[in-house]
Chain A
């Protein structure tokens, strides 16, 4: 098989971040090639560089042996590189035929040749063996069919390389199978296909080879069949060996199992988010929620905190059954949730450190029982000292702090509410190593204070280090639990990858 696409030494920097560092990437004609990696690994940057959305800072691009340098998505399309994005980016109010030919409609002098438009659309759909009315309004079709139309549109430009960026995220099992059928067919036609997905089962079901990225660098290229699942997961996550010195310090002292759970769920679930699960958290324990990206970790947290409504099951707090249908209710019951998306769901960027710090507690007290200025300043001074928050002044807008200090402000915000349960979703993401360690020490301190902590992280070592027990999620289902002595990184990875004995 010939090399269809060859990238050599591709680099891309954004202010303060190296998104791609000397990445090689090769796709052959007639193969399905998976591009894998956790969030922030550089997958989408690589695709955007390849399709001309961003210019690359350095590197060599070859397509079919000829050197190329796509300057825009349009230029990339003309070279034969077509992309189907995760969200269908077509026009729902136009017909299928219009969507397939949009921007390159056959016609003359500004007049459209409708017959040619339909003929071309039918031909594109026929190639996918798709039976679909070309005059139907796109918005009326199922998401899966819209996805197929998007592929048909991509193929209409006589693509040589097709990039599918998480095309299966919103498809059900049957629709995925249908998509795979089309992918295999196109492979047989000699197309090169780049397939980005988070579902490992799908990687093994349909791809020939795969490339793993981590932190903007290429980890390696492998034949799919020759790479055991566990090894793949290990390569995606990367193991921090240097962290061994403070390993297991957090895993000590399992909680008192006789104590009643602070938070317990029974059959709690939400269709399309996470299958019904049972969970119980006791005071003084740190429970991990492990799983790959897209396994339902955040969805679980959102259910517990009332951000999404559960459609089955019950929750009880301190043994009393309750309904949590808003974060406000959750906070009232003594829950706290540090979201993984600091910027969108945590920070009030233009407000001061002081205001960010006290907002949750003030919200719990209500507007009328305002904290006095003296109380506020005392609270701030306490947490700024306790968490070693580096800020020039409590009145500094929180947006001016570094990521690690912003994270500490958010932690302080929740600690100030004196919660019984705190859910930490990726609390160490995007912060430097020093702050990371401080936050881990803090978590140990919370456990010692008798809080129940639910700890979500994609870094396996971090989970093993901090948790006394880990619940494992795979493909939106709680699939196992590891406690105490069994809690090792290897064992956890087995469960996350779904290869346990």
Chain B
């Protein structure tokens, strides 16, 4: 079995090379903006660009609103399907798989045709409406991940017993959801939230076709016009993605370890 171990190390080393070299190369490239030697000037240029600040802030805000809307839609549905309407489960699960089948570009094409300024619901007619449409599009993109995270969270707690206990104590359904169920799955909800943020922050297709001043289209624009700043932006994006995923890992340590008695 010794040869098996050597083979494993070789595979690991080759994989590590493929994944680390582009990161190193990008970092090195981002430092090359001055002829005389390595500087962080490209980063300074990026961070001081008012458009960077504006688009990053806009995408962050849209991302947070996406999380809020997503949680408000998914948590009650996942809870009631698990507790009282198990027959709806296949339908809900099919719907949450749809965004994996229908690519984002097809989805936004449908939005533009269905909700344009001369339609029955002219969302793209106003700025606020287009922002809303962008948020809904992102909720749709994140739906598979959000639903799975929340459903996994619900599976690890004993939904039925908690609900019965709260009912005996006189709580109504809204109270149960907000003060009993939600705190118990907060960790799962948060990991879904960070994944959503990682997906939304650099998203290009939907934001670009809806003409919103988001971070993704800004990235594309810098890429088409600058030489070294794109590399700096790639490193910044990578660090941001790493931070979001790191938060999920960190949260996993706080997740309840006990399995539910019933499933």
Are these two chains actual partners, yes or no?
A: no
Chain A positions within 8 Å of B, measured between CB atoms, are: none
Chain B positions within 8 Å of A, measured between CB atoms, are: none
